Each structure stands twice: as C-alpha cells, then as structure tokens.
Amino acid sequence: MRLVLVVFCNLLNSSTGDTIPDVVNIGALFSFNSTIGKVAKIAIESAVEEVNSNPDVLGGAKLKLTLQDTNYSGFIGMLEALTLLENKTVAIIGPQFSVIAHMVSHIANEFQVPLLSFASTDPTLSSLQYPYFVRTTRSDLFQMSAIADMVSYYGWRDVIALYVDDDYGRNGVAALGDKLAEKRCKISYKAPLRPRGTKEEITDVLVTLALTEFRVIVLHTYENWSLEVLNVARYLGMKNSGYVWIVTDCLSNVLDTESELTSKARSDIQGVITLKMYTPDSKQKRKFVNKWKMNTPFGLNVYGLYAYDTVWILAKAIGEFFNQGGNVSFTKDSRLSDSMSIFNGGNQLLHNILQVNNMNGLTGPIRFNSDGNLMNPAYEIINVVGTGSRRIGFWSNYSGLSVLPPEVLYSKPPNRSISSQRLYSVVWPGETTQKPRGWAFPNNGKHLRIGVPNRVIYPEFVSQIKGTDMFHGYCIDVFTAALNILPYGVPYKLIGFGDGQNNPKFDDLLRLITTDYYDAAVGDFSITTGRTKLVDFTQPYIDSGLVVVAPIRKLNSNAWAFLRPFTPQLWCVTGAFFLVVGVVVWILEHRINDDFRGPPKRQIGTILWFSFSTLFFSHRERTKSPLGRLVLIIWLFVVLILTSSYTASLTSILTVEQLSSSIKDIKSLITSDVPIGYQRGSFAENYLTEELNIDLSRLVPLNSAEAYEKALKDGPKKGGVAAVVDERAYMEVFLSTRCEFSIIGQDFTRIGWGFAFPRDSPLAIDMSTAILQLSENGDLQRIHDMWLTRRACSSQGAKQEVDMLQLKSFWGLFAMCGFACLLAFLVFLMQIIRQFSRHYPDLEEELGEPSSRSSLQTARLQTFISFVGEKEEVIKSRSKKRKMEKASIRSTEEDQSVTGDVKQDC
C-alpha cells in the first residue's frame, strides 16, 4: 500500500513539476556479511538517518533507502539492481565489488541512474564507458602508484604480483605495472588466484613463487583471502627473512574491523607492509568514531567513512537538484518492460554529484576533478609489528613518500625529489630491520651457467687452465672477489665458449644470455651501445677504449739520456775533429801568435782548451793567420750545426714520440688507404666499419700478440699493417715488452669492461655495488697490478740505435771541415818549405864538413823541424843577420883579393 502511495506521489510531482516529493527512493548494493559490507551498512543507515533528520538538506523530502545484499555474486547484484530500478530509484549506492560494478554500470547507463560506489576501486571503472559511475572512494590507480614509489624507494626493480584473477585484481595489477614502469621497475612474475579458490590452489601458486628468484610480493586480493594467503605463505617459509610482502588496503581493512585477531593470524602477518586510505583528523570524524565505538561491536574501517560521506554527497546533489527546479520523473521505454522506466533527471543529478564542492565529510574535503576522481588522494603506510601495527609514513599524489601528514605538505610547493622521499624504519619478515635485497637464487639447486670466452690472445685476462675445466686471469679474479663481497652465496659454474684456436666473437656469447643458455657471462666485455640492448652490464671494473698502435721511436729518460742524441761513432768522430781542428789551428798560429806559444805543456793545454771551447764559442785565443781564421770559421759553422741538432734531438727524445710512420692519429688512419689490424672477435671490426666507415677490405684480423708484432714490423709493403686498432687494456700488455711500438694519439672511444647478465637482473646491481667496493678499498688495483703490471722493455738497445743521430747525417760537414783543415795545412806546409828553402839554401856549406847522404837528410829534417817550431820573427831576424854576415864576408874577401892582385902586379 505504501509503495502505491509513493508511486502516486512521484507521478503527481512529475505532473506538477514545482513540488518536492516527500520521499526520494535510493538503493544500496553490497555484501552484508563482508568486512566492508557490515561496516558500510551501519554507516549508510546512520548517514540516511542524519540526512532525514535535517529538513534543510532536501527541502523537506526524505530519503528512502533500500538495501540489497549481493552476496558476493555478480549475477545476484545485477538482479538486485534491476529490482531497485523497478521501484523508481534515482540513485544507487554501491556496488562494493568492482566485478559487480562493471555489470551494474551498464544497467545504470541504460536507466540514467547515477551509481555511487564507495568501495569499487578498479581504475577502469573511471573510463568513458561508464558515464553514470561515480567513484566516491580512491581509485587503485593511486594505491598502485604508492606501491611503485615504495618499490623504487627501497631500490627494488622486480616484484611478483599475486592477485585475484577478476576485473578487480587484473586491472589493479595492470595499473601497478604501468606505475612500476615509470620508475624503471617491473612485474617480473604474475601469479593469478582463482576467485574463491581453495587452500590447495593457493598452496600450489605459492610453491611456484617460492621457486623463483624474486622476493618482493605485492598481494592484491579481497579481505578474507589476504589472511588465508599469508597463512599459507608462512607455512611454506615465505615469511622468513629475505621476503617482502606489500599488501593492498584489503589487510588494513581487516586490522581496523577485526578488533582481536588470533595469535596465529598475528603471526601470519608479521613484517607485512599494508596501505590504508588516509583521512585527515577532524572534530566531525572523532565524534563519529567515538559514537561508533560505543554502539558497534566491531571496528570502523575507512570504507565505512566513505560510505557515510557517499550518502551525504548524494543528499546534497539531490537537494541542489530540487533547488534547480528538477523533479523526480520517469519515462517509459518501449525496449523495457512495463515495470521499468528511465529517470529523466539522471543526467542533471549526475552533474550535481560531480559538482559537489566545499563539502567537509568524515574523509576530509570532498571535491571531484575532471576525471571524476576525488582530489588529493593519499595513503597511510603501515607496518604490522607484534600485536599491533605502526605507521611508517604517508604517500600522497602531491609529494610522494613522506613522514609528514599530507595536509602539511599541501601548504608547500610539491617536491618529488629523491632526497625528499622518506619513510621510517621497517621491521621486515623474520623480525629484521635490514632491508631485504628483494631477490634470491631459486630454491631448485640449479647453478648459474656463466659463459667465459676461451681466449687465444692475452691469457692474462681470461684463460682456461690446461687439462681442467677451470679458468683464471684478471677478469676471473675480479669476478670472484666481487662475489666474495656479496652477503649471500652464488652457486655458479664457469663454462668455456670457443674452440680454443680462435678468439670467439663476444656478441655471439652475449646473445646466448638472451636465450637463457647462459645465466651470465664473465670476461673482458666492452660495454657498447649495441650490447646494452642485449644484456645488462655491471659497473665497469676497468677503463678502456680503442687506440691506434704503430711503430715509433721513443726512449725512456735516464741518467745518461744526454748521450742519446749521437751514436758512439758520431761522438768519437766529433771528439776527434775537435782535436784535429785544435792541432791544425795551433800549427797555423803558433809561429806568428804568442797565444799559441810557450812551453810544451802550455801548448798542449792551449790546443785542448781552444778546440773544446769552440763548442760554446768561448775561445779566448785570437787567430791572426788567414788560414787559421778560415779553418776556424768553417769549424764554428760545423759546431753550430752539431749543437743545434743535439739540442733538438735531445728535446725530442725526452718529450716527443718520434714516429716511424705517417700515422699520427685515427683521423690520418681513416684518410689513408693503408691496411689496419684488429683483434679477431672484438667489437673493433664493427666500430671501424659502421662508425668510421672504413672499408672492410682494409681490415686485417689478427689472432695473437705475435701476429700483431709481425704485421707491424712487416708494414704495408711486406703484407703487414700500418697500424693496429685495439683496446687500451690489451695494448698496454702488448706494449709492455715491445718498445718499438706505441699508442699514437688519444683514445678515440671511452668505454669500460663489465660482466654481463640478463636484462633487469638484480645480481647485476649487487655485483656493481661489489665492484665499487673493490675499487674503494684498493683490491681492484691490487688485482690489476698482479696480472697486468708492465715490465721493462727487452729491446732497449735497439731503441737507442733507432733514436740516435747517425754519423751519416753529418758526414758532409765533417768532410768540408776536414778538407779545409787539409787544404790549410798543405798551404801552410808549402809556405814553410818555401821559407825554409829561402832561409837555408846552402845547408851543406853551413854544416861545414862533408857528410853522408843520410846524415845530410837527417840534419835537414832536424833543421826543418826546428825551423817550423821557431817564431817567424826570429827566423826573419836571424836570416837578415845571416845575410849581413855573408855580405860582410864577401866584402872582406873581395878586399883581400884586390890587395893580392895589387901585390902581384907590384
């Protein structure tokens, strides 16, 4: 009878259009016996009672609430929704479950009845497909964003998603995957649970998870199931140290609603992190909570607050609807049965609902954004510890993770920087405060298969011990040292790659990691752009880069470096010429120059001093004879050339590499057409051809250090190469005993070596951290020195011969100087002989008595030597005196002859 009156009143109102009905029918759909449902029922009824007790809200009208129990069934929920619509319902509160909300939303669209859900958190319900669906709670999009921020905050990269396999679970996990991708993290394993699955099915799923390497598990399911899943996890040992359990707000609802959990249930949830929608404190909220505690045997969860506010949102929208002149009227549709009709004011009521502003509810200020979501979403982050729980921080869409309440941050500029993100400490599963690393090796007894290149060249880096399956070398020692730093053991087995006759191609080895044939690769792998697309590399453990190596002339400095510019032959010839020139100048000067005369010791000293002082152009003796000056000028020119060449050569030896080829750097190598050597199997081939556009026909693959040496020594004319392009680390070992070659120019690439792991491997991150620790404590350098210490060159003598100035470079100067000395000496000798002949024309007569021919020659030689040694002025004076004596004697004889003749005549 009452129903008939209500319908009659509605028809009357629709006909008049200017009166407010006494009763407005609204409905509610949810499961009464669920954790959320039993709280929501009381909260909704309480809100309706308060609305009806305030005539100002609806202008005198009353809300008539019809509750329908969906009993966890989408089909029943759909039938109950149709039942509500038969009663001319203007709006429906609910459904509670997202699966049912998807079904009922289609019905709401057809009847144009707003659907206000306080508990359906599936992000896809906000799509344009459901225009009449209004979410009056928080979307799981924001909850998954909070979880992604936590995963990134703790440094994890991979998570397992354990979820109920329905619209609620799948769409929530899809949102989680999107948010993790924004943080460069990912869901590595998805584990769906069948809705209403048995304990055995849960066990089977968790056993599979336990065999994986991932230890960060995000549980997204319903309230009742969350405890069941965690119970099985504890039974399987998945709540021990090393595991991370992040449970969506389904667990916090249980903690808030169930006042007392059993000790077994408490043990199941120890160390778990769960989220709870944040609602700021207010006087209105405290009053409601106190009233709840006094009248209700179970706790109040946050969905109860949202259910309460949903009634008030709807009431204010209906009141505004009436204020706008709207009336409650329905229109028949030929497609529908006679008992059903379309709500004419549905679109206007929906608009009013979304335009509710400046309303302060139990959950805080209520306002919808353009996407239909409530503004300022925020969550509490809770850590279950002991018999209770503790809040470790907050998350808000405004500033991310923080230990400050969101309303405090709203008054400040948004700050999402890494330094601003903060949470309090957590007690993890296993009652440990040390942050779990987030992964572990699978519990299947499998060893990691690690590929190692079976190198032929440079065994110092990686080589297989003959007769065994073991490897050693610099790279192997760095790898094992890094493993020893890790706080956990790594079972592994090294497996050689290559035939041992030729260097294997590293790219082929790395591709086998992508096919899961190898779990990692250890060796001298250069980290290049192309390779990073295949695998993940660790932090570089050695710096390297491509360099050009060519024949050079270079000597290392030592205490006798000043002798290196000249060869021994050149030094000897130069010293001899100093003495020769000194003697020649002495010979040319001593007869006329007092500076070159004196006792024998003084003359010898003068010769030595004068000759060697010309090296510095500091001789103090003046030359007087033209021949001496000629010789000295030529000799000083030779000395100038020698000193200049010596200075330039010494400077070059000590500071500059003297190249024996035309290759100066990589640019000159590119522009030339000479052959280039490279290490077979390295990335140098691809780099030279693809990046530097060098024709493949110019490249010569080399397989050993001996092949490098031979090809460089032979050169292009003998079938060798002009230069070798390889990585610096290799070349330093190669050049340590081959000093006739050297690196030309600078590194034209900057790369490093790292160990290779599958993409997104957590072990790669831990190994990178270990390598950094090795670098900081000096162990990395000690390993380097043990294997790669440079040794002294064995061909130092050959290098000296190459770098020294040769005698043949100066033979023209010495020949010119020698010819000048010889010519001057011959001219001087002719002059002396001529003078001697003039001054001693009748040596036999002067001797006074006849002698043998030999005696006469000896006497003449002694006289000549004595003549050469005498000063020219003395000789001239004596010669003049002798001539005067001869003239006097001749005059006397003539006088005597005349006297005799006179006497004879007489």
Confidence grade of residue 271 (pLDDT, cut at 50, 70, 90) = very high
**CA dist 782 → 151, 768, 770, 779, 788 (Å):** 37, 18, 15, 5, 10
Confidence grade of residue 839 (pLDDT, cut at 50, 70, 90) = low
What's residue 133's pLDDT? 95
pLDDT of 785 > 70? The answer is: yes
Compare 219 and 551 and report the one with higher pLDDT: 219
pLDDT of 35 > 60? The answer is: yes
What's residue 596's pLDDT? 61
- Among 92, 597, 704, 16, CA closest to 343: 92
Confidence grade of residue 601 (pLDDT, cut at 50, 70, 90) = low
pLDDT of 9 > 50? The answer is: no
CA distance 397 to 891: 144
Q: Token pair 């020195």 is at which residue?
A: 785
pLDDT of 557 > 70? The answer is: no
Bridge partners of 451, per DSSP, are 495, 521
pLDDT of 555 > 70? The answer is: no
Strands (E), 486-528: 492-497, 520-526
Phi, psi for residue 731 in degrees, rounded to 5 = -65, -30
pLDDT of 4 > 50? The answer is: no
| Poorest-pLDDT segment among 14-18, 65-69, 105-109, 652-656 | 14-18
What's residue 449's pLDDT? 93
Amino acid making up residue 638: V
pLDDT per residue as tens digits for the range 641-652: 777 777 777 676
CA distance 23 to 318: 12
What's residue 489's pLDDT? 82
Mean pLDDT, the chain, integer: 83
What's residue 798's pLDDT? 38
| Poorest-pLDDT segment among 372-376, 804-808, 834-838 | 804-808
What's residue 855's pLDDT? 63
CA distance 904 to 656: 101
pLDDT of 902 > 80? The answer is: no
Average pLDDT over residues 242-249: 95
pLDDT of 809 > 80? The answer is: no
Report CA dihedral (606, 607, 611, 617) to the nearest 10 degrees. 20
What's residue 615's pLDDT? 62
What's residue 10's pLDDT? 47
